[in-house]
Chain A
Amino acid sequence: MPDRSDIRLRAAQLRADFENAGALVVDPPLLQPAGLLLDLYGEDIRARAYVTSDGLRGEQMLRPDFTVPVVQMHMRDGAEPARYTYAGEVFRRQEQDPDRANEYIQVGYEIFDRDNSAAADAEVFALMANSVAGLGLRAATGDIGILMAAVQGLNTTARRKAALMRHIWRPRRFRALLDRFAHRVPVPQSRQALLSTEGVPTDTGVEIGKRSRAEIDERIAALREDAAAPPIAENELLALETLMAVRETVPYALEQMRDIAVDLPSISTALDRLEARSAALAARGVDVQYLDFEVSYGRTSMEYYDGFVFGFYAETRPDLPPIASGGRYDALTRQLGQGTEIPAVGAVLRPDLMLILEKASS
């Protein structure tokens, strides 16, 4: 492990670089109200963040990242457009892997800009690429927006699309839903029994709890409606599956996806965005011809990202988490903005990991 003071020094240098790139330095508090994070991430965050509490403010979390407090701060009183940078500790509870750090320093760069998303994406990516240049890292990129557009465009009920959208970040549940909506798996017996009874079921015993009879009836009606709806068509399903498996360099990925768009025309706008981003990246000196692109990249670990996503990995050290990672999170600003929203993209760097890699190569 590199020395703490060396890590701090490197973090300060990187933050100064980002300041020079035009960002305003921000320093959000270590303790964050737990309610907000729980609202965003659900119960899973408890397994990943340290929770503490006092009698006055209730549950607080040691910040698991900077993005949420920075977005909040910007939505409260930020000027537009804005660029922010920060450096400081984040805390991640570890229950499975003792080799993973539970406290480390992140240096970040975030852009809030309405006008040119492609340029902002490219700016963040290029800044990170320059910061880790010389470490021999592999860049992985993706775009959650493509899969989201594909789901939105499916020829099926709004309810099914909403269910799929809700589980974009849980690939296994997504898969299970897709199989059910395509009638590829048998209907569970309990549901068959429920739906085979005519009319509104009676004699369901004592009603207890906050979930009312009306809610139960509503869901049964929804299930009946779903059972009557036709399955998602085979050609759409195949196209969606082919799309999820796309893993190529950017130009080839684009070519493949343009073919897929014949069956899933709803992804065309998202593909135009990818093309514009690639042009912006190339303009910043990124070699897009050899840049990897994966449609499913970022689906398991990056919950609030909903567009461009990327990470820089040390291929010689597969045990290490990404040295830098980031992406676009427009929807998060909508959730935290209480009625307002602004397109946003950002990324973080791990100075501790950079020092480890530098030491190994020297």
Chain B
Amino acid sequence: MSLKLGVPSKGRLMEKTFSWFEKRGVTLSRTGSDREYAGQVDGVDGVELVLLSAGEIPRELAAGRIHLGVTGTDLVYEKLPRWEQQVQQIEAMGFGQADLILAVPKSWIDVDTLDDLDAVAAAFRARHGHRLRIATKYHRLVREFLTDGGVADYQLVDSQGATEGTVKNETAEMVADITSTGETLRANHLKILSAGPVLKSQATLWRSRTAAMSAEDKLVLKQMLALLHGEA
């Protein structure tokens, strides 16, 4: 047995995760070829690196197949109902900041608040015979936010990528998506509603509450957390 640490397998999120651990005396690295998802951990014994898509890390933590994992708060909240029971937040890592926001066409000059959105959704449905479509991959978070805000007559349509383009393509009337600078939104003639954000997210280190641990693993975890908190 060893303690399994799941980190994003590619891109800037992986690089920033690696350097965050490096600063705390734990060196993560990928081994083998560029295409092979294998890695190693130096600086602390008994830890195994598991490279995963950031989107799969919440599920793996909840299932207890990894003990620690790095992924965004957005993904944990969206994918794990009652997440507090399944994972514990250990550390907000200070990068990968992004907001889950609601955005409408910039030409909708009459829409800024949830109140506006609700009124427009009602009128849109009456006129077009279907509910106002919101393209997103964050179904649960957006639905909870809109229910809480008393918005009706909308419908979520699934969009796993290029979400900002759905309005121009008329497969949705507006979007709910993650943004850090708002650049892509502006380029696609969209503006952010003042209500919100639905969620502020950043890369976070989580501990699984369900993963089985040997006495040895517990010791390793303790050492690891001490290192990460700068107590070693």
Q: Which residues on A are within 8 Å of B, measured CB to CB?
A: 38, 42-44, 46-47, 95-96, 98, 163, 166-167, 170, 172-173, 176, 180, 188, 190-191, 194, 201, 204-211, 213, 215-216, 218-220, 223
Q: Is the beta-carbon distance between A194 and B107 smaller than 8 angstroms?
A: no
The answer to whether residues A176 and B115 also contact, given A170-B152, A206-B189, A208-B189 and a CB cut-off of 8 A, is yes
Structural contact, B82 and A95, CB atoms closer than 8 A:
yes
CA–CA, A15 and B162, complex, Å: 53
Contacting residues, chain B, for A166 (C-beta < 8 A): 122, 152
* B interface residues, tally (CB under 8 Å): 42
The reply to whether B154 and A43 contact each other, CB–CB distance below 8 Å, is yes
Interface residues of B (CB under 8 A from A): 81-82, 105-110, 112-113, 115-116, 118-120, 122-124, 127-128, 131, 139-140, 143-144, 146-147, 149-150, 152-156, 167-168, 170, 173-174, 188-189, 194
Query: B149: nearest residue on chain A (CB-CB)?
Result: A173
- Interchain CB contact (< 8 A) of A188 among B82, B115, B123: B115
Selected from A95, A190, A210, the residue in CB contact (under 8 A) with B112 is A190
Q: Is the CB of A43 within 8 A of B168?
A: no
Docked-complex contact B115 and A213, CB < 8 angstroms: no
Determine which of A173, A201, A208, A210 lies in contact with B109 in the assembled complex, contact meaning CB atoms within 8 Å. Answer: A201
Q: Are B81 and A95 in contact (CB under 8 A)?
A: yes
Cα–Cα, bound, A204→B191 (Å): 12
* With A42-B131, A42-B152, A205-B189 as contacts: A191 and B123 at CB distance below 8 Å: no
Q: Is the CB of B173 within 8 A of A210?
A: yes
Closest residue of A by beta carbon distance from B82: A96
Cross-interface CB contact of B128 among A96, A201, A210, A223, cutoff 8 Å: A210
Evaluate contact between A170 and B110: CB separation under 8 angstroms: no
Residues of A within 8 A of B105 (CB): 207-209, 211
Contact A96 B189 (CB under 8 A): no
Bound CA span A96–B147, Å = 15
User: In chain A, what residue has the closest Cβ to B106?
Assistant: A205
Within 8 Å CB of B194, what residues of A?
Answer: 190
A210–B170 touching, CB < 8 Å: yes
**How far, in angstroms, from A71 to B112 measured CA to CA in the complex?**
39
Query: Which residues from chain A contact B147 at a C-beta distance below 8 Å?
Result: 44, 47
Q: Verify B112–A188 contact, CB threshold 8 A.
A: yes
Q: Which residues of A lie under 8 Å from residue B82 when comparing CB positions? A: 95-96, 98
